[in-house]
Amino acid sequence: MALTQLLRTPQLCASLRTVSAAQAQPKAVLKLSNLPHAAQTHRLPARRARCYGSLASPAVGAGQSTGVTSVAPPPFHLAFPVHDLAAAREFYGEKLGLQEGRSSKTWVDYSLFSHQIVCHHVAGYAASNSANAVDGDAVPVPHFGLVLSIPQFHEFAEKVKDAGVHFIIEPHLRFKGQPGEQHTMFFQDPSGNSLEFKAMANPDNLFARYTHIES
């Protein structure tokens, strides 16, 4: 059979059309929705923005560094006891403005910058805090909170102050001139659980390894 006749056979033409169609298909694209949460590129969740409004991450200018990797860490989960669920709701939901999630008669959870905290009712509970000297402050231990950006820190501090929350340690700058220089503030919920919110002067130094010597 001549080559020109072979190229015109129905079987070969059908095969060539199949190959051409396959080549025309777009290559597979790796979608973020198919990745585990921890591997997705970081983007501020809409829920977080709704919950905190302008406390959303500020824009970063050209040449500036956020000090944070582009991969979002998985949400943190923390459950802790409270002596009064109604008082906890007023504090976390109304005063701090956290978005309430699931709840029952004995517990309620909130979104803390898209991290999950859960208040569990324990009758008669009263937090017993010890203190540790940190750069001249008697820091209550244990405590929990978040590391914010500096604009977020100052805005949140004003929000807490306007809500009438009493500061155990007023917002201020500590470790001045050191790698760990940071803004910090401490306050307690109605059950005596201590919270700290801080903002690093240089976010890249959050996990900087050095030894601080108390004066």
Q: What is the pLDDT of residue 122?
A: 98
For 74-119, write each residue's pLDDT tens digit: 999 999 999 999 999 999 999 999 999 999 999 999 999 999 999 9
Read off the pLDDT band of 11 (50, 70, 90).
Answer: low
pTM, whole model, 2 decimals? 0.68
For the record, the structure tokens of 122 come out as 């324990």
Helices (H) and strands (E) in the chain, counts: 5, 10
Q: Phi-psi region for residue 180, left (φ > 0), alpha (ψ -120 to 50) or beta?
A: alpha
Q: What is the spatial distance between Cα 198 and Cα 167, in angstroms, rounded to a whole number?
A: 13
Give the three-class secondary structure for 205: helix
Write down the mean pLDDT value for the chain: 78
Cβ 179 vs Cβ 202: under 8 Å: yes
**Among 92, 91, 111, CA closest to 101:** 111
For 22-51, write each residue's pLDDT tens digit: 444 443 333 323 333 333 333 444 444 333
